[in-house]
Copies of this chain bind each other. A is one copy, B any other.
């Protein structure tokens, strides 16, 4: 048992309210970043006129081709993880603000558990989108997948921006998970 345990109650309440204040700022950041990542991904679309061979015997025909987020399941998954996270960030922000001074311990623990799930969800989404993004930029000669970002440059740039936003949002959630434990030190 720690020697100073008679101070414990006071210290814990002080730490908790500090953690709460810092936590609110980080939660607002997490919300802004995941909302931005969701919007930047969902509005990503590029149409380009590309010469395509329709019949082998005829010269290629110029046809408009569109790149959209829902053409790649990894990007769809990435969008869903960000949409879920920003919806949850908004709800948890209201609940945390309402739970002033961290009075309800069970609510604090529920929010901590869900924050940890968001870390897992967002990082898996960032991983999936980055893996496909790298294939888009570099292609892979071993499996004969050609790069596509030389054609759809604007689409790929916007994808990088949303992955960056989502990564920052993931780090914000990671920080939210750490705050209650570190502030109790």
* Stoichiometry (number of copies): 2
Number of interface residues of A (CB under 8 A): 53
Q: Which residues of chain A from 159 to 177 have any CB-CB distance to chain B below 8 Å in the complex?
A: 170, 174, 177
Of the residues B1, B116, B146, contact of A144 by C-beta under 8 Å: B146
Q: CB distance A185 to B109 under 8 Å?
A: yes
Which DSSP category, helix, strand, loop or mixed, fits chain A's interface?
A: helix
Q: CB distance A120 to B174 under 8 Å?
A: yes
Q: Which residues of B contact A123 (CB under 8 A)?
A: 119-121, 123-124, 127
Q: How far is the CB of A119 from chain B (nearest CB, A)?
A: 6
Of the residues B72, B142, B146, contact of A142 by C-beta under 8 Å: B72
Interface 9-mer from A24-32, A87-95, A131-139: A131-139
Of the residues B8, B128, B135, contact of A127 by C-beta under 8 Å: B128
Q: CB distance B105 to A140 under 8 Å?
A: no
A interface with B by C-beta (< 8 Å): 1-2, 5, 8-10, 12-13, 67, 71-74, 77, 105-106, 109, 112-113, 116-117, 119-121, 123-132, 134-136, 138, 140, 142-146, 148, 170, 174, 177-178, 180-182, 185
19 contacts across the A-B interface (CB closer than 8 A): A1-B9, A8-B12, A67-B142, A72-B142, A72-B143, A73-B131, A73-B138, A77-B127, A105-B185, A113-B178, A116-B116, A116-B178, A123-B124, A124-B124, A125-B127, A128-B131, A131-B131, A143-B145, A143-B148
Closest 7 CB pairs of A and B: A127-B127, A124-B127, A128-B131, A74-B131, A5-B9, A127-B128, A71-B142
